[in-house]
Amino acid sequence: MVKKTSTKTESNESKSSKTDVTNANFISETKDELAKVVWPSRQQLLSESAAVILMVSLVATVIYLVDNLFSWGAGKVF
């Protein structure tokens, strides 16, 4: 049993050092990837946001109308 305990301690120490290196690499690689991102212009951001808001409103309205239609139909049947 003593060997298992010492092996676990050794593996925990090696995991800790690997985690530190991995975290440092992750942060560095994240910064590198964010530098490659092509960010949208202000005009593009506004127009696409408006399109999304318009489509969400349209779909919500259609769902509301269909729900009311089915509620009215169910009221007539039952």
Cα maximum dimension of the chain: 78
Are 58 and 71 in a shared domain?
yes
The pLDDT assigned to 58 comes to 98
- Please write the tens of the pLDDT for every residue from 38-55: 999 999 999 999 999 999
pLDDT in tens, 5-33: 555 555 555 566 666 678 889 999 999 99
pLDDT surpasses 80 at 3: no
DSSP H stretches of helix in the chain = 2-36, 42-77
Contact 46, 54 (CB under 8 A): no
Residues 52 and 77 grouped into a single domain: yes
Which residue range(s) make up the domain with 52?
39-78
Average pLDDT, the chain: 85
Q: Are residues 48 and 64 in the same domain?
A: yes
Cα-based angle 37, 41, 46 (whole degrees, multiple of 5): 120
Top pLDDT among 35 and 18 is at: 35
Position 43 scores a pLDDT of 97
Q: Residue 22's closest CA among 14, 32, 33?
A: 14
Number of domains comprising the chain: 2
